Amino acid sequence: MVSVVFFTYCQQHSNKTSTGFIQPEVNPALYRNKDNEKINKQDTDIIQKIHALDCYFEDKVKTNAFNGAVLISYKGTPIFERYYGYKNYYTFERLTPSATFQIASTTKTFTSGAILLLLQQNMLSLEDSLEKYFPNFPYKGITIRMLLNHRSGLPNYLNFAEQYWKNKKEFMSNADMLHLLYKYRPKALNAPNTHFRYNNTNYVLLALIVEIVSGQPFCDFLHQNIFMPLGMNDTWLYDPRSPWPSATKGYKGSRWIEDEIVYTDGVTGDKGIYSTVRDLYKWDQALYSNKFIKTEILGLAFTPQSFEKAGNKNYGLGWRINDQTDGSRLIYHNGWWHSYNSVFNRKISDRSSVIILSSHYSSSVYKIQAIWDILYGAGVMSNTEEDGSSDTTKKLNSDTLLEIQRSK
């Protein structure tokens, strides 16, 4: 297999060389709609579902000024795809299938995927200590697994960077974030592996580990080993110095104020990927194929990791989990960054998925119980819309509230 690509997608080019990772060879035709139940879109029941979804989103546009893209699949077949509103509100440029949205914390599923690909090739272990990758790391007893499942207890960089990153006009990088940990040693939130505490620092460190192990810049690794093999041609990792022309604008409030870029936009792994609903559906389908990330490896990511609190909601390795009363399992990861909202919910027992990308902030985007009711009937699927408060961070001021990434 050829694993050398003679270009970089990264703004800041790295001279690192490959350390032996073999680039996956995946033909999207091998997994797309393979072995799925045949859904006839002309069936009366399906037509009724599509009509109900149309009404639901048209009402959301009217009442909540929804601006975004939607793709909903039912039992492995996409039955609903719509685009509402503007790529650029002020030029009246409409959204198209290739317009890209910041997917915020849904990025974490790809960072986890990158780690799992390296695990699959025995290039790292989930039980590796961080000191193996970051010599003399100031926080002891933390493993890769604890980063993935948010049990590290590390301080959240979105809080401590506000104090320690002095030049707010300069973009902070992942390496800068690591340097702040070494230099200032902000207080840990708790001892390792004692509590689940959703924390963006974990996934910034995971992105750095991907670079160290693979010998590639994180953005190159994603493009060459996930996006390109899966045919995700409209997906890319954000660099505030060089955004792609396909990027939408993010807006907030009733006056559609364009959200500002801030210094932490230079940090990736916890956020930063821009994508489309069609490309996220390719990611969704690839995770069923057993030809990309093997089932036994992916199963680790879909296994609950925290049990301090009883209930049907949990977190695996880069994925949220919501177990249903019928024994099925929702695997999902939503996101919020600036004024972008993302919904990526997957009913893995029958390959149904709800994918919503929005560029005009509204908490109503996450309230998707009505969608599950349309697909399966009222009361069959349980609500996932309450999972928006796990990434708690102190309120710095009113202007920075929307800069705090939350896992909605």
In a domain, 131, yes or no: no
Structural domain span for residue 95: 45-123+213-403
Residue 393: C-alpha distances to residues 35, 114, 199, 390 (Å): 43, 27, 9, 9
| pLDDT per residue as tens digits for the range 126-176 | 999 999 999 999 999 999 999 999 999 999 999 999 999 999 999 999 999
| Per-residue confidence (pLDDT) for residue 224, from 0 to 100 | 95
In a domain, 345, yes or no: yes
Q: Which residue intervals of 35-188 are DSSP H helices?
A: 44-64, 107-120, 144-148, 157-164, 174-184
Place 382 in a pLDDT band, splitting at 50, 70 and 90.
Answer: confident
Among candidate residues 285, 391, 401, the one with its CA nearest the CA of residue 346: 285
Check: CB of residue 294 under 8 Å from CB of residue 120. Answer: yes
| Per-residue confidence (pLDDT) for residue 28, from 0 to 100 | 61
Residue 245: C-alpha distances to residues 86, 101, 118, 402 (Å): 14, 12, 31, 23
Residue 333, Cβ density class (10 Å: 0-12 exposed, 13-18 middle, ≥19 buried): buried
Q: To the nearest whole percent, how much of the chain has pLDDT over 70?
A: 85
Bridging pattern class, strands 329-332 and 320-323 = antiparallel
For the chain, the domain total comes to 1
Q: Tokens standing for 96?
A: 């198209």
CB atoms within 10 A of CB 401: 11
| Per-residue confidence (pLDDT) for residue 33, from 0 to 100 | 54
| pLDDT per residue as tens digits for the range 316-343 | 999 999 998 888 899 999 999 989 999 9
Check residue 42 and report its DSSP letter: T
How far, in Å, CA of 218 to CA of 211, rounded? 5
Check: CB of residue 404 under 8 Å from CB of residue 158. Answer: yes
| Per-residue confidence (pLDDT) for residue 223, from 0 to 100 | 96
In a domain, 18, yes or no: no
In a domain, 230, yes or no: yes
| pLDDT per residue as tens digits for the range 183-241 | 999 999 999 999 999 999 999 999 999 999 999 999 999 999 999 999 999 999 999 98
How far, in Å, CA of 323 to CA of 298, rounded? 17
In a domain, 348, yes or no: yes
SS3 354: strand
How far, in Å, CA of 290 to CA of 297, rounded? 10
Phi, psi of 208 (to 5 degrees): -65, -40
Residue 394: CATH number of its domain: 3.40.710.10
Among candidate residues 212, 204, 7, 245, the one with its CA nearest the CA of residue 107: 204
Q: Which residue intervals of 215-290 are DSSP H helices?
A: 218-222, 277-286
In a domain, 241, yes or no: yes
| Per-residue confidence (pLDDT) for residue 20, from 0 to 100 | 78
Q: Tokens standing for 168?
A: 């707010």
- Which residue has 């460190």 as its token pair? 205
In a domain, 9, yes or no: no
Q: Tokens standing for 313?
A: 């909601």
In a domain, 370, yes or no: yes
